[in-house]
Structure 1
């Protein structure tokens, strides 16, 4: 069963951050001091708090709670859920009263240690695969633990055969999401060839009211494709990230899979992902092998204010991302051009068939006459024309000529 979690009708406010305490780990004192001082200095200069994104409508597989067919199950059945957080900005939770989730894979990679948890938490673009044993008959709400978000639509109904009535919600016990639960504890035997320190900072409301997020003091520039991290093909690199902000950052390395080698001040190995949450005022180590020639993007997947860097293999200086087929955005349109116009996350689903397919970084255009959004390209080399009648206008407005009749997925 595929579940895509997505919000609609966004708006901006200067309300400040909502504390997020669900992620394991403790603040690093010097990072906390650095981040709090930077924010206090900004506010003392009369700056407002940076824009935050809020939403009015929430959905699972494109439908608000109460507006879709229930998931029907039988007692004793084991259901494998594949959950995608398709939000542009939000961390999402998911709970099913009276049941637990046995996590078997993260971002499509089997976990070293399967474990049962009462709540699934995902950062933007993260995926979780978990098995639920249906052993608590009734009619239940499978939904977000936030009452406001769930009541605004972030949920769906699970209905046991032979049961009927009003779907019930019972809040789960307090729970902390901890990647160490699914990893092997201890240092990896694979030592990195190089370690690269990256400091994440927040410049409060520094660009027209939006926060700027530099890495090592340099914010990403789509005009210059900088900063660039040069790596050598075949070498193993450790990214040592330190977060001097209270925000949780879902970090995504394109075209690679990395190993989480230190989380919450604990050495780990065996946990492979491509998106991972870096906690507020915390540190995190990621190991990857530079085995994908060309440019790759490493960034936080919260799309309100992009921050990240390009990873560049110097042995592939002459390799560029493939051009679009003739007739799509004009002959020779490159993926880099598409990425510059829009870095986002689009979730496609066909709810009647229970199918979910997604890729990050699509360019999209709203076709008002047809009442749909059309998706063109993404920076990972896949082309598709898709339709999603309920996509929000904010997800993309680039203009382009021509359409691709068929695609490669």
Structure 2
């Protein structure tokens, strides 16, 4: 199979949703004279002293990503300037289904040289992002998508946006082949079998799998800690840090070091603030942290620590006159293993209205690490009607954590391991091994929406389902 077909075809196959034929090829709307232009491009960055050919999402002025204001119209002309077909998902926004970015669910891939228009209300403020819904996401086809709150215009506050990624000089297809190939072949060179998974001989139980790919680098805004982004800030100033975990297969803990901040939003949704200096985030999640810097001329690193490993990346906040010390890309201790402790503490600033669920579903997350097969088993297909309150209990019976993401909606976390509480609003939630999380969704956006693991290779290997409306 040719490389470009592999990159786009595997995920299209995993998204073989049961679609009404009348909706397979929707019309997204005519081009508006006021539309913002966004281009899918190829670009070069330097990683570990070597040139790397990657993708990008670029505005006409060369800037990466988008910034809107709450209440704006998402009026965008998206052009594919590469020689590969692809498609973009607006992660965190809730557009009408024809605007969603999953191959043939409902729109076809955007061909090389093609332009496509999008027009829908942007909705409320939040930290979001946009990324390919193909293996090209691994090759950095992603960018921030920030929706600012006009109510924050009067704040004396600097904004810093950080997009995290895991990077390999291998192609995404080579990485996937390394995971799905025979352990006896050289193709497994891309997989991490460094003792995280398999039988724990000391206890006689199955140990947790953490990382299944050893990447060449971990990036914060396209840069490693060998040459990090240094952000000029004011001494004693206030900073809002928006962090997006755009990694395809890596969870991080964000370490603010000596700075203690207020976690004020997750996945673009406001929460009751939680103070802390370390916050976990799995793939696809976002956090907003508000900081007040000391009135001193010292630099402050913000580090993303790879789960269960020494690697880390990050940026540095630099007040005027401060020196910037070199920070090693390997820490002295491995990053913490993510759990649900923080999740159990989060409370939505604007929770769903209290009412009983009219429909409930149970989803089992299963997989075989050795065979690299992953899947979702439902007690019955998720099929809802507009206006329903729906609950989905997700139980992970595999030995690897799964970040579960629902397109087109935000949901509320309402139970962990059967213990009910009124948690955060999200669009992506972590389900650790042998744990369960229950979410509540108001069915208010008709379509046949993708519901999948946000570990790119788990999704490519089959961990994808549908949150479907009756038509």
State the TM bucket, normalised to the shorter chain.
0.5 to 0.7
Q: Relative to 1, partners in 2 of residues 1:295 and 1:96: Cα closer, same or farther, differing over 3 Å? A: same
| Paired residue secondary structure (2:344) | helix
Q: CA deviation at 1:142?
A: 1.7
CA shift digits 1:82-109 (9 cap, x unpaired): 1100011111222122102311111111
What is residue 243 of structure 1 aligned with on the other side? 396
Q: CA deviation at 1:182?
A: 1.9
Q: CA deviation at 1:75?
A: 2.4
Q: CA deviation at 1:171?
A: 7.9
What is residue 291 of structure 1 aligned with on the other side? 444
What is residue 86 of structure 1 aligned with on the other side? 246
| Paired residue secondary structure (1:200) | strand
Equivalent-residue separation in structure 1 for 2:299 and 2:468 (angstroms): 51
Residue 354 (structure 2) pairs with residue 189 (structure 1): yes
Residue 304 (structure 2) pairs with residue 141 (structure 1): no
What is residue 109 of structure 1 aligned with on the other side? 269
| Paired residue secondary structure (1:55) | coil
Residue 286 (structure 2) pairs with residue 127 (structure 1): yes
Q: Relative to 1, partners in 2 of residues 1:204 and 1:143: Cα closer, same or farther, differing over 3 Å? A: closer
Give the one of 258, 275, 280 matched to 2:411: 258
| Paired residue secondary structure (2:311) | helix
Q: CA deviation at 1:184?
A: 6.5
Alignment of 1:181-330 (within 5 A): 181-183=345-347, 189-206=354-371, 210-216=372-378, 228-269=381-422, 271-306=424-459, 307-314=463-470, 316=471
- Decide which moves more: 297-306 or 196-205: 196-205
Equivalent-residue separation in structure 1 for 2:229 and 2:469 (angstroms): 48
- Asked if the contact 2:234/2:319 (under 8 Å) is kept, the reply is yes
- Asked if the contact 2:366/2:377 (under 8 Å) is kept, the reply is yes
| Paired residue secondary structure (2:301) | strand
| Paired residue secondary structure (1:144) | strand
CA shift digits 1:47-105 (9 cap, x unpaired): xx999222111111111124244112222211001110001111122212210231111
Q: Relative to 1, partners in 2 of residues 1:262 and 1:71: Cα closer, same or farther, differing over 3 Å? A: same
Equivalent-residue separation in structure 1 for 2:195 and 2:352 (angstroms): 34
Unmatched 5+ stretches in structure 1:
20-32, 40-48, 218-226, 317-409
Equivalent-residue separation in structure 1 for 2:214 and 2:426 (angstroms): 28
- Asked if the contact 1:59/1:155 (under 8 Å) is kept, the reply is yes
- Asked if the contact 1:238/1:287 (under 8 Å) is kept, the reply is yes
- Asked if the contact 2:450/2:466 (under 8 Å) is kept, the reply is yes
Q: CA deviation at 1:160?
A: 2.1
Q: CA deviation at 1:282?
A: 0.4
Equivalent-residue separation in structure 2 for 1:279 and 1:304 (angstroms): 17
Q: Relative to 1, partners in 2 of residues 1:196 and 1:181: Cα closer, same or farther, differing over 3 Å? A: same
| Paired residue secondary structure (1:304) | helix
Give the one of 187, 191, 202 matched to 1:13: 191
Q: Relative to 1, partners in 2 of residues 1:211 and 1:241: Cα closer, same or farther, differing over 3 Å? A: same
What TM-score does the superposition give when structure 1 sets the normalisation length? 0.60
Q: CA deviation at 1:240?
A: 0.8
- Asked if the contact 1:6/1:86 (under 8 Å) is kept, the reply is yes
Equivalent-residue separation in structure 2 for 1:162 and 1:60 (angstroms): 24
CA shift digits 1:98-125 (9 cap, x unpaired): 10231111111111x2111111211111
- Decide which moves more: 166-175 or 295-304: 166-175
Give the CA RMSD over aligned residues. Answer: 3.5
| Paired residue secondary structure (2:421) | strand
Unmatched 5+ stretches in structure 2:
1-159, 176-189, 198-203
Q: CA deviation at 1:265?
A: 4.5
- Asked if the contact 1:140/1:168 (under 8 Å) is kept, the reply is no
Equivalent-residue separation in structure 2 for 1:256 and 1:182 (angstroms): 19
Q: Using CA pairs below 8 Å that are at least 6 residues apart, which structure has the higher relative contact order?
A: 1
Q: Relative to 1, partners in 2 of residues 1:216 and 1:265: Cα closer, same or farther, differing over 3 Å? A: closer
Equivalent-residue separation in structure 2 for 1:205 and 1:264 (angstroms): 27
Q: CA deviation at 1:139?
A: 2.1
